[in-house]
């Protein structure tokens, strides 16, 4: 996914429309030209037609939902379970989206064999869907591994982080830039201390040559390197993202935060890295040094991955001390996950409560981007619509829109999500708007959001959106007076706080 569509992509899209519009399915020349684009009249083939996947695997429960499809647990004839990503071709509008899926399949094939890359078991395709079959990881993600650990020392954090750096270094050696490194994309094979960490989700990844620069604004705001925001970046952007992950491992929160994706991006660009506040004084000097080297805003000066692996804190004979990381760090990680999930949902409710005249311009923009007029923005509609608008939007606004919060994880951006991620938060701070949002969660209208009401709100978020936030973790962050519930003042503090 990127912020811009190349001239070639536009030309191919127009060519496909013209060819399909000619309705010359029997014209050999037309058929050959459509085939080169991966299309036939009425059909699109991402790879090729394969055997029926439903005769090979039995489909079970849905475990996730993403931008283009759904992930299921599937079982083969021998009883072995896998994860299957089912991608609807109906949602792949245009050659760019088709190429993105093809590239993901190519990259999964290309990276097979490394113990810390998600194992790819093949692609299947029929007239309606593409299916990517991968190993099933049942231990959650990197966040959950940290939360489940009985104790975290700098030495154990260094060993875990070395795994992450090694697998990303492997990708770079094979010419693959991930571009969306974050804790949620490092999966754990199984519960327990012997589990492996697996790098997954190569949907935004691309092949690269040494020295090659890219201009697509992709990734997640917290983990996005400054040069990605500026749309001129190379492989060092993955080093930055790993640096953000290390920062979270050691202190429990990201280095740069904000009230919205746009604010986070602004902080990444303009704020200096600060390692002076607790718990950093109790973290070893080599660890602090490595974080600083990885989060150098100048990609030319930023440490390389081979240098990261050779750093004293990360070497196999690591100098990282055995002393525990401050106990509050793990709690902060839990709160970071839960707090941000619920806060984003609260802001979506805020957006719904805004007076129509306040968001008339955004409504018009949404309608312009919504090409098929179904009230939902697909990733393709968002990308292509912004490309058509050229430089009307500032770079940081475009980057924020590209990572606009798909809060309910249905793979689309509805109008409220769109407004919540693009409307200036300060303009939402109207008492009547805040009151309406609070009332949405205060079901019994007693002036408090109780534990049960909070639990009900979280249960309505799918696991892929919520990331497993707990009521206890959220209350620990938002319930300032520790009375076991959230009052109106605490709700306002939560919604309006940075991060």
- As a whole number of angstroms, the distance between CA 374 and CA 285 comes to 54
Catalytic residue among 100, 141, 180, 487: 180
- As a whole number of angstroms, the distance between CA 315 and CA 108 comes to 28
Q: How far is CA 14 from CA 19, 20, 31, 96, 407, in A?
A: 9, 10, 16, 12, 33
- As a whole number of angstroms, the distance between CA 343 and CA 383 comes to 26
Long-range contacts of 72-80 (CB under 8 A, 24+ apart): 73/136, 74/133
Q: By the 8 A CB rule, do 118 and 199 touch?
A: yes
Pairing of the two strands 129-135 and 81-88: antiparallel
> Mutual orientation of helices 328-353 and 488-496 as an angle, nearest 10°?
100
Question: How many CB atoms sit inside 10 A of residue 419's CB?
Answer: 23
- As a whole number of angstroms, the distance between CA 469 and CA 465 comes to 10
Selection from 80, 173, 160, 87 nearest residue 121 by Cα: 80
CB-based contacts of 198, cutoff 8 Å, min separation 6: 116, 117, 118, 119, 135, 137, 186, 187, 188, 189
Q: By the 8 A CB rule, do 98 and 34 touch?
A: no
- Judge whether 391 counts as a catalytic residue: no
Task: Give the burial class of 159: count Cβ atoms within 10 A of its Cβ; 0-12 exposed, 13-18 middle, 19 or more buried.
Answer: middle
Q: Both tokens of residue 12? A: 């191919």
- As a whole number of angstroms, the distance between CA 324 and CA 196 comes to 22
Provide the annotated active-site residues.
180
């Amino acid at each position: 996914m990127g912020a811009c569509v190349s001239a070639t992509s536009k030309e191919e899209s127009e060519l496909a429309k013209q060819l399909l519009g000619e309705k010359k399915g029997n014209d050999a020349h037309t058929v050959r030209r459509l085939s080169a684009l991966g299309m036939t009249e009425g059909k699109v083939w991402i790879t090729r037609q394969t055997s029926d996947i439903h005769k090979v695997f039995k489909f079970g429960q849905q475990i996730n939902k993403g931008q283009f499809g759904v992930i299921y647990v599937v079982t083969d004839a021998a009883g072995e379970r896998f994860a299957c990503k089912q991608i609807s071709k109906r949602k792949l509008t245009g050659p760019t989206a088709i190429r993105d899926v093809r590239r993901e399949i190519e990259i999964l094939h290309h990276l097979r064999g490394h113990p810390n890359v998600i194992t790819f078991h093949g692609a299947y395709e029929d007239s309606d869907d593409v299916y990517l079959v991968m190993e099933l990881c049942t231990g959650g993600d990197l966040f959950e591994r940290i939360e489940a650990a009985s104790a975290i020392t700098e030495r154990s954090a260094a060993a875990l982080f070395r795994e992450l750096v090694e697998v990303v270094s492997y990708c770079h050696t094979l010419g693959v830039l991930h571009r969306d490194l974050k804790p949620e994309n490092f999966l754990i094979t199984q519960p327990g201390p012997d589990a492996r960490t697996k790098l997954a989700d190569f949907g935004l990844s691309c092949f690269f040559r040494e020295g090659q620069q890219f201009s697509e604004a992709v990734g997640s705001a917290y983990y996005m390197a400054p040069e990605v925001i500026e749309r001129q970046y190379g492989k060092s952007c993955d080093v930055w993202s790993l640096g953000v992950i290390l920062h979270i491992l050691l202190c429990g929160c990201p280095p740069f935060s904000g009230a919205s994706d746009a604010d986070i991006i602004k902080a990444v660009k303009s704020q200096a890295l600060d390692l002076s506040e607790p718990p950093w004084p109790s973290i070893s000097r080599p660890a602090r040094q490595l974080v600083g080297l990885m989060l150098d805003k100048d990609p030319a000066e930023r440490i390389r991955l081979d240098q990261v692996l050779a750093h004293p804190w990360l070497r196999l004979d690591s100098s990282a001390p055995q002393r525990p990381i401050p106990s509050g760090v793990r709690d902060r990680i839990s709160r970071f996950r839960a707090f941000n999930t619920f806060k984003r949902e609260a802001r979506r409710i805020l957006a719904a409560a805004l007076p129509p005249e306040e968001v008339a311009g955004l409504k018009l923009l949404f309608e312009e981007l919504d090409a098929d007029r179904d009230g939902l923005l697909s990733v393709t509609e968002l990308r292509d619509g912004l490309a058509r608008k050229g430089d009307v939007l500032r770079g940081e606004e475009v980057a924020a829109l590209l990572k606009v919060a798909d809060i309910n994880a249905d793979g689309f951006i509805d109008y409220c999500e769109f407004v919540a991620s693009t409307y200036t938060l300060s303009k939402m701070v109207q008492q009547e708007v805040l009151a309406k949002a609070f009332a949405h969660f205060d079901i019994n209208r007693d002036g408090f959001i109780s534990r049960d009401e909070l639990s009900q709100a979280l249960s309505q978020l799918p696991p892929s959106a919520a990331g497993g936030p707990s009521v206890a973790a959220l209350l620990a962050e938002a319930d300032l007076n520790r009375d076991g519930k959230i009052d109106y003042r605490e709700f306002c503090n939560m919604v309006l706080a940075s991060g």
